[in-house]
Amino acid sequence: MKYLHINIMELLQERGISKTRICKDLDLQRGNFNRYCRDEFQRLDANLLVRLCDYFDCDIVDLLEIREKD
């Protein structure tokens, strides 16, 4: 079965940004942000995706990935 993965953790690590920093910069609740980091979401907020792309200066294809569950 496939699932949608958001490359947030990978992008944070590449850029040396902490979860605390991005949550503060984007005014996000840490608990909600952690759910996105763990791929534990049912729906995606389109505005958040745009904000993440702007924040990381990346395209949506750099942010989202379809993966195969183990």
Does CATH number 3.90.420.10 belong to domain 2-68? no
With beta carbons less than 8 A apart as the criterion, state whether 53 and 60 touch. Answer: yes
Domain boundaries, the chain: 2-68
Secondary structure of residue 1 in the 3-state scheme: coil
Res 33: pLDDT? 95
Exposed, middle or buried by CB within 10 Å (0-12, 13-18, 19+), for 27?
exposed
pTM for this predicted structure: 0.89
pLDDT tens digit sequence for 30-62 = 999 999 999 999 899 999 999 999 999 999 999
